[in-house]
Structure 1
Amino acid sequence: MRKIKTISLLLICVLLVAAFAVGCGAKEERLAVATGGTSGVYYPLGGAFANIISEKVGGVTANAESTGASVENVNLLNKGDVDFAMVQNDISYYAFNGVEMFDEQEPMKNLRGLATLYPETIQIVAAGNANIASVEDLRGKRVAVGAPGSGTEANARQILAAYGLTYDDIQADYLSFGEAADNLKDGHVQAAFVTAGTPTAAITDLATTHNVNLVPIPSNIAQKLIADYPYYAEVTIPAGTYRNQDEDINAVAVMAMLTVRAGLSDDVVYNITKALFENLDSLAAAHARGGDISIDTALNGMSLEIHPGAQRYYNEVK
C-alpha cells in the first residue's frame, strides 16, 4: 500500500513538473514599441507594426506606446525601456554619435537599425500675406523653428545655415507643431518649420481655413545640405497635397525609421523583420505613409548599424 502511495505521489509530482514546464514554455516575450503622439504618423504605424508582431511571430507579443516621438524614443530604447522605436534618421544619428541635442550625453550605443520607412519632409509653411516665397525672405520675420532641442529645430537651423542665415537673422520662436499652427492662425508668427510625413494634419487643418503657402528648397540647396548631412534626401511635395497648392514643391526630408535595441535576440529580430515585409499591406491600411514602405528602399538613409537579425533577412532577399 505504501508503495502504491509513493508511486502516486511521484506521478503527481511528474505531472505538476510537466504542467509547469508547459506553462513556462507557453509564456510569450512581451515587447514594447515606442511611437509618438496619437495624432501623428508614428502612432498608427507603430500600432500596426505591434499587431504584426503579435499576430505573425510566434513566442512574442508587442504593444505600441504613445510617446514624445524621436528624442524621447532614442532615450527609451538606449535604456532598454522599450524594444523598438520609431525615430527620425537624423535624430538616431545624433544620439548614436553624441552630437547636437545629445552633445552632453554619452553616445547611445544600444541603438541598431531595422529599416527606414518613409520620408519625413521638412515643410516651411508661410502665411499667405507675409510675402515669403523663399528661405531668404524669412530674414527679419517671426518664424516658428520647432520645440527646443527637437529634430525640427535642428532641421531649421541647418537649412537656414545653407542660405548663410542664423537665428540672429530671424525672430525665432521655439514652438511645437500644434503651437506653430495656432500662432500662424493668430498672426503671431509668419512662417513655421514642420518636419513630418505629408500630408500633415496640422497643416491640412491650417490650409482649410487660412491662406498659406509652402516655401521651396531648390535642388542646388538640397544637394548642398545632403553633402553636409547625408541623412537628408531631396523630395517633392506633390501638387494638391494641401488646399490651394497648385504646383509641386521642391523640399528636403529626413527618413522615418524603425530602430531596435542592440541586445534583442537575432532570431527574434530576424522573424520580426521577415513578418514586417511580408505584411506591408497592414501598414498601408494603418496610414497613407505605410504605402511608402518597401524592401527596395529599406536601407536608404540608414543612419545606424543594422541589427544582425535584420541583416540576415536582407541578405536572404537581396
Structure 2
Amino acid sequence: MKRSAGLVAIGLTGLLLWALPSAQADTPLTIATASPAGVYHLAGRAICRVVDLPCTAESSDGSSANLRSLRRGEVELALAQSDIHFYAVNGSEGFREAGPDPRLRSLFSLHSEPFTLVARRDAGIRHLDDLSGRSVNIGNPGSGQRGTMLRLMDARGWSRSSFRMVNDLPADQQAMELCHGNIDAMVYTVGHPNESVAQAIRLCNAVLVDVEGDAIDLLVEAYPFFSRTWIAGGLYGPNQPAVRTFGVRATLVASADTDPEQVYRLVAGVFESLQRFKAYHPAFGTLTPASMIEEGLSAPLHEGALRYYREQGWIDDTATSVELTRGAGSP
C-alpha cells in the first residue's frame, strides 16, 4: 500500500510539473492601448485577433499612462508613441521623476502617426502660428498627443498662457467640443483615416491644417523619433487636400519580465499573419518587417522578439542592437 501511494504521489507531482508550463503559456496577455476612438485600440484588438494566445486590448489614457502601467507590472504589453517610448527609456520629459526604465523592451513598431491639427473652418486658423490666442484641446494627461504637443509648444516658445484656453479632453470627446464651438482647434497624433477626425470634418465642416515652420524643422533635426510626413489627400472627402506635418510611430513594448515564450508566440503570430493584420486598418497598409523592427524603437529588443527575428534571418546572430541584415523580406 505504501509503495502504491508513493507511486501515485510521484505521478501526481509529475503531472503537475508537466502542466505548469502549459498553464503559464495560457496566462492572458493585456495590451494597454488608448482611447477607443483611436487607432491604438483597434491595433491592440487586431493583434489579439491574429495571434494564438489569450489576449485582451484594454483602453487607457494613452502612451505615457501605458508605460507607467507597464513599469508597475499592471499590464504585460503596451502601445506607445515613439517619442514617449524614448522619454521613458531615458527618464526624460514626463519620466524625469521616475528616472530611466532599464526594464523596458521593444517588440516592433507599427504605423506612422502624423501630428494632426484640426480647426473649425470659421476660426480662421490657416497656419500653426494662428493657434496663438485661440482655444485648443491638447489632449488628456497621459496621452501621447499631449506629450507631442507639449514638445511642440516648447520648441515654438509657447506656454499654456499663449492660448485663450487650453482644454485637456480625451480623444473621444474633442470632436464634439469642436462642433459645439467650445474649442477652436484640436490636436491628435494618430494614424489615418481616423473616426474622430472624420467626425469633426463631417459634422462641423472642420479643416486639416498644415503643421510647418521653424519649430518643426528644429524638432525633426533634434530628435530621431520625429520625421516629416503627410496626411494623404482625399481621406476625408474628395476636396480634402494633402497636409504637410511631422510625426512619430506607434510602437509595441513590454517589460523584460514579460514571459519570453509568450512574446515569441505573439511576435511570430503577427508577422506570420501580417497580411491579415494589415487589412484591419488602412494605416497598417504600408507596414513591412524591415520598418517594423527598425524604425522608432529606442528600448532594446525583448529576448522573445529577438529570438524570432534571428530565426527569420532579419537580424544577425551576432548583433547586439537592432541591426537588420540585408535583404530582410516579408515573412
* Residue 285 (structure 2) aligned to one of 272, 284, 291: 291
Q: Distance in 1 between matches of 2:175 and 2:127?
A: 19
1:227 to partner: Cα distance: 1.4
1:277 aligned residue: 271
Give the TM-score normalised by the residue count of structure 2: 0.83
Secondary structure at the counterpart of residue 152 of structure 2? helix
Question: 2:37: which partner in 1?
Answer: 39
Number of aligned residues: 309
Percent of matched pairs sharing the same residue: 28
Deviations 1:40-64 (A, max 9, x none): 22223212323444x1xxxx64333
- Alpha-carbon separation, structure 1, partners of 2:288 and 2:213: 25
CA deviation map 1:221-244 (0-9, x unaligned): 543211122211211101112236
Matches of 1:263 and 1:305, distance apart in 2? 13
For 1:51-98, what per-residue CA distance to the aligned partner results, in whole angstroms no more than 9, with x for missing partners?
444x1xxxx643333322212210121122222111111112222222
Deviation at 1:201, TM superposition (A): 1.2
SS of residue paired to 1:236: strand
Q: Which moved more, 1:35-44 or 1:18-27?
A: 18-27
Which position in structure 1 is the counterpart of 2:302?
307
Name 2:196's counterpart in structure 1: 202
Match among 73, 77, 80 for residue 80 of structure 1: 73
Structure 1: how far apart are the matches of 2:150 and 2:3? Answer: 78
For 1:259, the equivalent position in structure 2 comes to 253
Counterpart in 1 of 2:328? none
Bigger mean CA deviation after superposition, 14-23 or 64-73: 14-23
Residues 171 and 103 of structure 1, relative CA distance in 2, 3 Å threshold:
farther
Asked if residue 187 in structure 1 is aligned to residue 181 in structure 2, the reply is yes
1:80-229 matches, within 5 Å, as 80-148=73-141, 150-176=143-169, 177-218=171-212, 222-229=216-223
Q: Output the amino acid matched with 1:236.
A: W
* Residue 20 (structure 1) aligned with residue 16 (structure 2): yes
Quick check: 2:121–2:206 contact (8 Å CA) kept in 1? Answer: yes
In structure 2, C-alpha distance between the alignment counterparts of 1:46 and 1:126, rounded to whole Å: 29
* Helix, strand or coil at the partner of 2:189: strand
Matched residue SS, 2:234: coil
Q: Which has the larger radius of gyration?
A: 1
SS at match of 2:296: coil
Contact 1:98 1:104 in 2 (8 A): yes
Q: CA deviation at 1:181?
A: 1.6
Are residues 28 and 61 of structure 1, via their aligned partners in 2, closer, same or farther at CA, if it must alter by over 3 Å? farther
Which amino acid is the alignment partner of residue 146 of structure 1?
A: G
> Could you tell me how far apart the structure 2 residues matched to 1:47 and 1:136 are?
37
CA distance in structure 1 between the aligned counterparts of 2:3 and 2:162, rounded to whole angstroms? 88
**CA deviation after TM superposition for structure 1 residue 257, in Å:** 0.4
Distance in 2, matches of 1:120 and 1:158, equals 15
Cα RMSD, aligned residues only: 2.5
SS at match of 2:126: coil
Q: Deviations over 1:243-277 (max 9, x none)?
A: 36431111111111000111235454344323321
CA distance in 2, matches of 1:25, 1:129: 61
Q: Is the 8 A contact 1:270 1:313 kept in 2?
A: yes
**TM-score (structure 1 length as normaliser):** 0.86
Distance 1:309 1:219, change over 3 A: farther
CA distance in 2, matches of 1:209, 1:178: 15
How far is 1:15 from its partner? 4.2
The 2-side partners of 1:36 and 1:153 are apart by 13
